[in-house]
Structure 1
Amino acid sequence: MFLENLAETFVELADTLVADFDPVEFMHLLADRCVATLEVDAAGILLVDHHGELQVVGASSDRARLIELFELQHRQGPCMECYLTGEPVTVAGFTEAPQRWPEFSAVAKDAGFGALHALPMRLREQTVGALNLFSVEEGALSEPTLRVAQAMADVATIGLLQAQVISHRELLAGQLQRALQSRVLIEQAKGVLAERLQIDISTAFETLRRYARSHNDYLSTVAADVIAGTIDVAALTAVTEARPATRHPRP
């Protein structure tokens, strides 16, 4: 079952790597697949923007996203260290880490996590971010599991840096900037949807994703339409989860 799930994961990740793939949806797919495939309870992704600052671009849960935001705001923690050094960082138990990252460790423990693994997203000498895996139970992941996780991070990095033969830095900056701009739209749309349908933020986000997938559309495009009021909000709840074979986004 593990090998079947793993194979499906890499097929789905590779299938998403088209010339104009949606980087925000791709990062969320990666985070979700990490949770589904690996022995972890949550995942988060940090990427560097065109100003050289790390940003949270994907997360499998609100808890993971908030912890990542806290780390960036306080500029301390294993994920930040992983990005800066380009090397994996393992925290097998937050009871062992207070001396290095006291505030981050306390917040992670309060959120219910016992361990964290941060893996660099890099291609050769260029590190573009970090893939962060959270576990409720303390203890380090097995070496085979970490190798699979690093391979998933590598696939994601290659996707972000595809076509880099000509000018990979410009391509990366453009993709990441679009991802961050899309993130703002998505957060606004989540709030609009939560208010109109009287649902929580997590449910609002999943509703947006289901609608985007069922209509073969970009998540950011759907979010913009929700904000503009050009989508019947009630119709968003009528769609069912469906993975499109081919994406044909609106122009």
Structure 2
Amino acid sequence: MKTENWAIVASALAGVALVGFFAAPSLLRGPPRDQETLCPKTGAIGQTLVLVDKTDPWSEVQAGRLKTLVKQIGDELPADRMLSIYVFNDVFEPGFPALISLCNPGRTATELIGNPRREYVKWVEKFGRPLDEALKTLTQPSKGNQSPIIEAIGDVVSRRENRVAEGDRKLVLVSDMLQNSSQFTVFGNGPGARDQEKLRQVLAKTWQSSGAGSWALGVHQVQGVYEPQRLEQAALLWQQAFQKMNVTVNWDRL
């Protein structure tokens, strides 16, 4: 009787082991992914959005700093988190395309126990190389008469594709912060120019309508071709406006 019982138990255990043997490869490969974005089909876990203002030319040194910044963001991006990079110029067009929008596919267990070099090459092809191509475009010089910074922020953060359901969202803005559009300008002596209260009103309206308040904001101010005094004046206007809106912003110079 005991022999029969042990036979039944052994058979059951063998069945479980067999199921595990066939299930393991799919588990080790990681979650199913979208072939275009490399994100899990269940959705990205968090997002970092880099918005770059190319309405004014930069020096080679500043372009190099931008490349270092974005490369660091890409290198430190956690697995399954989305990295989106947008570039805008003086001609603002709503819905302008992303330069890149990909999740870091990370490393799976099969990659760790398999051929590390081969799997690293796969990772570079999927994520690293597109990021490098985006960096080449980012550092190319550009110039324009308008600088629609507020408009660009409101446009990208309000898009459906940038509303990840899980994880945090971080907006990294790279700009000289010299807003110049019909909504607000830091140039000239016309009505409302450099008016801190008007800037606050325009920002508050954009933040409310776009949902920008759900994003953590970081600003990397670029000097470009302008004198430091003008940049400091613009920085103070923005910082005071954000303070009155109770928006926390990490601000530094690139």
**Larger RCO (CA within 8 A; separation ≥ 6):** 2
Larger helix proportion of the pair: 1
**Who wins on radius of gyration, i.e. which is larger?**
2
TM-score above 0.5: no
**Shorter-chain TM-score tier:** under 0.3
**TM-score of the pair, normalised by structure 2:** 0.21
**TM-score, normalised to structure 1's length?**
0.22
